[in-house]
Structure 1
Amino acid sequence: MKSLFEEKACNEILDRINSLKDDSQRQWGKMSLGQMAWHCQFPLKIAIKNKDTGKKGNLFVRLFFKKSAYNNKVWRRGLPTAPALKTVENKNASIEIEKLKTLVKEFNALKNREEWQPHPFFGTLTHEQWGKMEYKHLDHHLRQFNV
């Protein structure tokens, strides 16, 4: 699995984000392009802020989903989205895509960070797991919009 900490993988993700167009159509799911770009910002913000939320993650999520967050298997279409990461509001795709690109670069710049707070859903993750999980999430949603 690629990691968003790797320059080549980060540049690949940025190129794919740059190839999104206002008329890019989703291949599955319900999110519009703007909603998807908005949604993809949250996992990056969690990592970048690196704040201890006091949460260690839901036991079910940690036992059954955590490994799939950073293993080599591609996520299937139509996975459920956590309610906190959903929006029903329309989002301006151009604005949200620019914010997303900024966050991707900020996350990549943390490649030498040694201390990571627990993820609020998955609990403790290693540096390697953070990088793979962020790449995998973005890859999933970019595939959703066929880029």
Structure 2
Amino acid sequence: MESLFKPETTQKFIERINRLTPQAKAEWGKMDVAQMLTHCQKPLEIASGELVPKVSPIIKLLFGKSAKRSILRDPQFKKNIPTFAEAKIVDQRVFDTEKKKLIEYVESFQKKGPKGITKAAHPFFGPMTIEEWDALQTKHLDHHLRQFGV
């Protein structure tokens, strides 16, 4: 399993991000490439404790644990799975700005390592180990880079 805590993995992801162009088209989903770059920042913000999205307690209770098991067990995210409101990016974004910000978040995640992960439970999945936080970030970023062909 790849890990964004490893510098070589982080470098591979940054190289993939740098291969994106403003004209890149999604193979599935509704976001354009700049929106995707913004969307990919949100889980990293959650992992660091910068963002705490509002999640319905009922939805969390009904689906949180089973969704966590599925996401962590499966080698890749499934296409078109729902996301939380704060990660639904529908407004226009500036490609170069969002690309730079995402790279900064990825580099920060790697440099801070496990100490940079929030001590709080994930707002949807509940308590997570450091390894689970890492796997979630790595799989999520890979999913969206594959969505845009890199």
TM tier relative to shorter chain: 0.7 to 0.9
**Match of residue 129 from structure 1:** 132
Where in structure 2 are there 5+ consecutive unaligned residues? none
**Match of residue 43 from structure 1:** 43
Where in structure 1 are there 5+ consecutive unaligned residues? none
Task: Tell me, in whole angstroms, the C-alpha distance in 1 between the residues paired with 2:92 and 2:134.
Answer: 29
Distance 1:65 1:92, change over 3 A: same
Greater mean deviation of Cα atoms: 31-40 or 4-13: 4-13
Task: Tell me, in whole angstroms, the C-alpha distance in 1 between the residues paired with 2:124 and 2:87.
Answer: 12
Task: Tell me, in whole angstroms, the C-alpha distance in 2 between the residues paired with 1:8 and 1:32.
Answer: 28
1:141 to 141, 144, 150: 144
Greater share of helix: 2
The number of residues matched between the two structures is 147
Normalising by structure 2, report the TM-score.
0.86
2:76 to 74, 81, 85: 74
Q: Secondary structure at the match of 2:30?
A: coil
Alignment of 1:13-32 (within 5 A): 13-32=13-32
How far the C-alpha of 1:19 sits from its partner, in A, is 0.7
Return structure 1 stretches of 4+ with deviation > 6 angstroms: 50-53
Question: What code does the residue aligned with 1:140 have?
Answer: H
How far the C-alpha of 1:32 sits from its partner, in A, is 0.6
Task: Tell me, in whole angstroms, the C-alpha distance in 1 between the residues paired with 2:50 and 2:121.
Answer: 8
Contact 1:5 1:111 in 2 (8 A): yes
Contact 1:26 1:145 in 2 (8 A): yes
Task: Tell me, in whole angstroms, the C-alpha distance in 2 between the residues paired with 1:116 and 1:87.
Answer: 26
Identity rate, percent: 36
**Match of residue 89 from structure 2:** 87
Normalising by structure 1, report the TM-score.
0.88
Distance 1:70 1:5, change over 3 A: farther
Contact 1:4 1:135 in 2 (8 A): yes
Tell which has more relative contact order, 1 or 2 (C-alpha 8 A, sep 6+): 1
How far the C-alpha of 1:70 sits from its partner, in A, is 2.7
Question: What code does the residue aligned with 1:108 have?
Answer: Q
Task: Tell me, in whole angstroms, the C-alpha distance in 2 between the residues paired with 1:81 and 1:134.
Answer: 14
Contact 2:42 2:51 in 1 (8 A): no
